[in-house]
Homo-oligomer: A and B are copies of this chain.
Amino acid sequence: MSKTLRIGLLGLGVVGGGVVQVLAKEKEKLQKQTGVAISIDKALVRPGEDKSAMAAKYGFTLTTDFDALVEDESLDVIIELIGKVHPAKEFIEAALRHGKHVVTANKDLIAQHGVSLNALAKENKVSLFYEASVAGGIPILRTLTNNYLADEITDVMGIVNGTTNYMLTKMFEEHLSYQAALEKAQALGFAESDPTNDVDGIDAAYKMVILSQFAYGMDVTMDDLEIEGIRSLTELDVYAAKELGYEIKLIGRAKKYDQQIAVSVGPTLVHASHPIASIKNEFNGIFIESSGIHQSMFYGPGAGALPTATSVLSDVVAIAKNKALKLEAPLFNQFSLPTALANDEQQLSRYYLALNVKDYEQLEPIFLKYTIKVERQLKKDAHLFVICEPISKAKLKEFTQKLTNYARIERVMKVIGA
């Protein structure tokens, strides 16, 4: 009598195990609310991987043969949780071609191949959902599609990488060095042994590509982003930021200038009074400015087995509801505009400059000549730290080039708040 949604699960690692566990716990509630029974029928494991105890406990079968799994006509949905681009991409493509809905948490893949995968999903009249790909436990993507359509988003600022936020929190609150903070993050399992993707901002950039698509309807590629990590931040940067009343956060930002957008990832001075400064440790947060709601923020865990599994299941629930309503599979995000990127003249920002100064006297005329207005400054030994009023990125480039004759520029960061 009642409908059943049958799932094939690719990957039984921590998140996959979480999906199995959360679904078992919430099964009855979900069936009651959606009118559809959700059942994990099969799971793909690696050769030699023993998950027989889990399979027996939760009543699904194991296979190492993806081709057989994807050809199983009884399966309605494939959940992909193996991560990385290959073979996840090929698996998802095969699943979509076989008419199966796909749910994935794979940000690397969606950021790089989302456009073609969404097109393939549309062509095959199935859904491709990936709520968990951005900020694991924060329901941000579906909220953007459902609740901001009557609004115009003008700025998205995200702390979307938990590892670096944890490290920066420790550098600020416990005065750890970058290296000590990284080791602590690794010891706690927040950072991998090769932390490149996190500390160099790549992971955050993947998420900003996806967020930009939902916030502005525009497809940007990784090449369109300016990406800077936190690897070279020093205790002096932390000292200066603190003295000036700011924290340093790795901010992914997608900002609209007129009708164009600029997307970037980089360490940023955030004033202590700004809501996004309150996001500490491994937590994520996304702060949105828009013409209607004005300011809103979404806070939650960026990773973790249960939060990510819960997000994955919210996608499955959406598919179950659509099935119950006999709906044609909708695109995850239907907001679509031609991509238009802002140029360097359009991009206005306040900037923080850390300078190693040979001669203070000589600096002032340069600031005057380029009409750079200083909001706040701090001197320490040979260092001069300056926060200046908004200037264009083009002007910043010109100015800093000139400045190198008089000072060594140790760091340039954008500034948010107060």
In the bound complex, do residue A22 and residue B150 qualify as a contact, i.e. CB atoms below 8 Å apart?
A: yes
In the bound complex, do residue A314 and residue B147 qualify as a contact, i.e. CB atoms below 8 Å apart?
A: yes
> Is the C-beta of A317 less than 8 angstroms from some C-beta in chain B?
yes
Q: A278-B278, A293-B301 are in contact. Are A147 and B139 (CB under 8 A)?
A: yes
> How close is A412's CB to chain B, nearest CB, in angstroms?
28
> Is the C-beta of A82 less than 8 angstroms from some C-beta in chain B?
no
Complex interface: stretch among A26-34, A176-184, A243-251:
A26-34
B residues near A236, Cβ cutoff 8 Å: none
B residues near A131, Cβ cutoff 8 Å: 147
> Is the C-beta of A318 less than 8 angstroms from some C-beta in chain B?
yes
In the bound complex, do residue A292 and residue B310 qualify as a contact, i.e. CB atoms below 8 Å apart?
A: yes
In the bound complex, do residue A143 and residue B147 qualify as a contact, i.e. CB atoms below 8 Å apart?
A: yes
Query: How far, in angstroms, from A149 to B22 measured CA to CA in the complex?
Result: 11
Nearest chain B residue, comparing its CB with the CB of A297:
B299
In the bound complex, do residue B151 and residue A146 qualify as a contact, i.e. CB atoms below 8 Å apart?
A: no
Question: Would you list which residues of chain A between 115 and 154 have a CB under 8 Å from chain B?
Answer: 131, 137-139, 142-143, 146-152
> Is the C-beta of A160 less than 8 angstroms from some C-beta in chain B?
no
Nearest chain B residue, comparing its CB with the CB of A137:
B293
> Is the C-beta of A10 less than 8 angstroms from some C-beta in chain B?
no
In the bound complex, do residue A294 and residue B304 qualify as a contact, i.e. CB atoms below 8 Å apart?
A: yes
In the bound complex, do residue A295 and residue B301 qualify as a contact, i.e. CB atoms below 8 Å apart?
A: yes
Binary interface profile of A, 345-382, with partner B (CB < 8 Å = 1, else 0)?
Answer: 00000000000000000000000000000000000000
Q: A137-B293, A300-B296 are in contact. Are A147 and B142 (CB under 8 A)?
A: yes
Q: Which of B29, B292, B301 contacts A22 (CB 8 A)?
A: B292
> Is the C-beta of A298 less than 8 angstroms from some C-beta in chain B?
yes
> How close is A143's CB to chain B, nearest CB, in angstroms?
5
B residues near A334, Cβ cutoff 8 Å: 33
Binary interface profile of A, 319-355, with partner B (CB < 8 Å = 1, else 0)?
Answer: 0000001010000001100000000000000000000
The size of the chain A interface, using a CB distance under 8 A, is 54
Query: How far, in angstroms, from A307 to B150 measured CA to CA in the complex?
Result: 10
Q: Which of B26, B147, B152, B325 contacts A26 (CB 8 A)?
A: B152
Query: How far, in angstroms, from A317 to B290 measured CA to CA in the complex?
Result: 17
B residues near A146, Cβ cutoff 8 Å: 139, 142-143, 146, 314, 318
In the bound complex, do residue B296 and residue A137 qualify as a contact, i.e. CB atoms below 8 Å apart?
A: yes
> Is the C-beta of A95 less than 8 angstroms from some C-beta in chain B?
no
> Is the C-beta of A390 less than 8 angstroms from some C-beta in chain B?
no
B residues near A293, Cβ cutoff 8 Å: 137-138, 300-301, 306-307, 310-311
> How close is A320's CB to chain B, nearest CB, in angstroms?
9
B residues near A309, Cβ cutoff 8 Å: 292
Q: A149-B317, A278-B275 are in contact. Are A296 and B298 (CB under 8 A)?
A: yes
> Is the C-beta of A291 less than 8 angstroms from some C-beta in chain B?
yes
> Is the C-beta of A208 less than 8 angstroms from some C-beta in chain B?
no
B residues near A29, Cβ cutoff 8 Å: 149, 152, 335
> Is the C-beta of A167 less than 8 angstroms from some C-beta in chain B?
no
Query: How far, in angstroms, from A50 to B148 measured CA to CA in the complex?
Result: 32
A-B contact pairs, 9 of them (CB 8 A): A22-B292, A23-B150, A26-B149, A142-B143, A143-B146, A275-B279, A294-B307, A296-B298, A297-B297
Please list the residues of chain A having a beta carbon within 8 angstroms of any beta carbon in chain B.
Answer: 22-23, 25-26, 29-30, 33-34, 131, 137-139, 142-143, 146-152, 273, 275, 278-280, 283, 290-301, 304, 306-307, 309-311, 313-314, 316-318, 325, 327, 334-335
Closest 5 CB pairs of A and B: A292-B310, A139-B147, A150-B313, A278-B278, A296-B300
